Amino acid sequence: MQELHLLWWALLLGLAQACPEPCDCGEKYGFQIADCAYRDLESVPPGFPANVTTLSLSANRLPGLPEGAFREVPLLQSLWLAHNEIRTVAAGALASLSHLKSLDLSHNLISDFAWSDLHNLSALQLLKMDSNELTFIPRDAFRSLRALRSLQLNHNRLHTLAEGTFTPLTALSHLQINDNPFDCTCGIVWLKTWALTTAVSIPEQDNIACTSPHVLKGTPLSRLPPLPCSAPSVQLSYQPSQDGAELRPGFVLALHCDVDGQPAPQLHWHIQIPSGIVEITSPNVGTDGRALPGTPVASSQPRFQAFANGSLLIPDFGKLEEGTYSCLATNELGSAESSVDVALATPGEGGEDTLGRRFHGKAVEGKGCYTVDNEVQPSGPEDNVVIIYLSRAGNPEAAVAEGVPGQRPPGLLLLGQSLLLLFFLTSF
């Protein structure tokens, strides 16, 4: 009913409005057409009849499409914008065209495109974006285009495509992605597999080829040799000192994240503490524990020190640093995460930790056990807790920095004032 009202008002407005002076408007084959092609236009002219269903602005000099550019023509079904000078399509430029079935943006200079606008174009059947300057397509760009039959992305500057980019296109029958400078690393292997097995017609497959790395330059994607690829895996660990030395005020917390995967994953720390969330891309310090040049930190020795070998050092751990410490490893094939919750607790006869867990007797040093009524009990999966006495050490920075990449560094956790560290270990 709402669409009927919209159509009725559009017809009334269409009868009342004149065609923009540079354009020709009229009816043809039952369609209301506005022809503005080859008019040397530098902007979308105002004053279109609201009942226009086909609009051609091809072969002009449009430099971009601003927000609301086609608000006057809500019933538009076909929009032709090929052979302009469009560089930017702003958010909201196309979002109002929910009836659009054909969109031609080919042969422009588009590098900045509002992909979110496509989420509103669920009626779209043809999308031509070939011969532009596109370097990136979000994984969810086409999530609403279940009616799309033909997609042309050839002759752009795409280096890769996220796995699953074409999965929502259940009606797709024709796809052109040739003549893009694909980087043939692990992140593109999925496309080879998909292209060889899909029922979608993909022409010029020999021109869907590698530009890099140099050893594969010119190799068609369909003949890409097997690559040594694996998704990331992580293991968050600690190795506390076992020497039983006297506990002193002030301590250092050291965690280590073992990372595996091919290509080598990027390590990122996500820290949730009482004051908020801290995000750290590793490394942020050198082997001496000092901030790397260009790192946005307040001092030369950051509060949270992430080393290149996967270690995280908190030199002055206290109540303000309690929280959840997560290491996230990401490469072209996916991501993996492991987390540990760290809290301070005061032990004692019949005491409770800061998380409300009740303990009796003395914790067993570094054994992954706790005592109940002075009897040692293993911490089973349902407990998911390791209780550790921690002792002092001499040079925490050196202990972590000297670790070999890919290996755990010497364990180092210093604790003061007869406190315990409770590690709640969770792997995802």
CATH code of residue 147: 3.80.10.10
Number of domains in the chain: 2
Domain with 252 in it: 231-361+384-389
* Spatial contact of 98 and 118, defined as CB atoms under 8 Å apart: no
Determine, yes or no, domain membership for 278. yes
Same domain for 134 and 282, yes or no, is: no
User: Residue 259 belongs to a domain with what CATH number?
Assistant: 2.60.40.10
Determine, yes or no, domain membership for 319. yes
Same domain for 23 and 149, yes or no, is: yes
Residues 6+ apart with CB under 8 A from 419: 247, 344, 345, 346
Per-residue pLDDT of the chain (428 residues; tens, 9 = 90+): 444 444 444 444 444 458 999 999 999 888 899 999 999 999 999 999 999 999 999 999 999 999 999 999 999 999 999 999 999 999 999 999 999 999 999 999 999 999 999 999 999 999 999 999 999 999 999 999 999 999 999 999 999 999 999 999 999 999 999 999 999 999 999 999 999 999 999 999 999 999 999 999 999 999 999 988 888 998 987 644 334 333 233 567 788 899 998 888 999 999 999 999 999 888 888 887 778 876 665 566 788 888 988 988 888 777 788 889 999 999 888 899 999 888 765 444 333 443 333 333 232 222 222 222 222 233 333 233 323 333 223 333 333 333 333 333 333 333 332 233 333 333 33
Same domain for 178 and 48, yes or no, is: yes
Q: Of the residues 178, 196, 223, which one is the last residue of a structural domain?
A: 223
Determine, yes or no, domain membership for 51. yes
Residues 6+ apart with CB under 8 A from 288: 397, 401
Determine, yes or no, domain membership for 91. yes
Same domain for 283 and 219, yes or no, is: no
3-state class (DSSP) for residue 345: strand
Same domain for 206 and 278, yes or no, is: no
Determine, yes or no, domain membership for 179. yes
Q: Of the residues 197, 223, 249, which one is the last residue of a structural domain?
A: 223
* Spatial contact of 312 and 325, defined as CB atoms under 8 Å apart: yes
* Spatial contact of 320 and 314, defined as CB atoms under 8 Å apart: no
* Spatial contact of 182 and 209, defined as CB atoms under 8 Å apart: yes
Determine, yes or no, domain membership for 413. no
Same domain for 207 and 237, yes or no, is: no
Determine, yes or no, domain membership for 46. yes
Same domain for 325 and 205, yes or no, is: no
Determine, yes or no, domain membership for 395. no
Q: Of the residues 189, 223, 257, which one is the last residue of a structural domain?
A: 223
* Spatial contact of 411 and 313, defined as CB atoms under 8 Å apart: no
Same domain for 205 and 352, yes or no, is: no
Same domain for 194 and 308, yes or no, is: no
> The tokens 């082997």 sit on which residue?
287
Same domain for 152 and 279, yes or no, is: no
Q: How far apart are CA 263 and CA 187, in angstroms?
A: 9
The pair of three-digit structure tokens given for residue 107, joined into one six-digit string: 């042969």
Residue 305 pairs in a beta bridge with 313
Same domain for 208 and 301, yes or no, is: no
Same domain for 137 and 247, yes or no, is: no
Q: What would the DSSP string read from start to end of 233-247?
A: EEEEE-----S-PPP
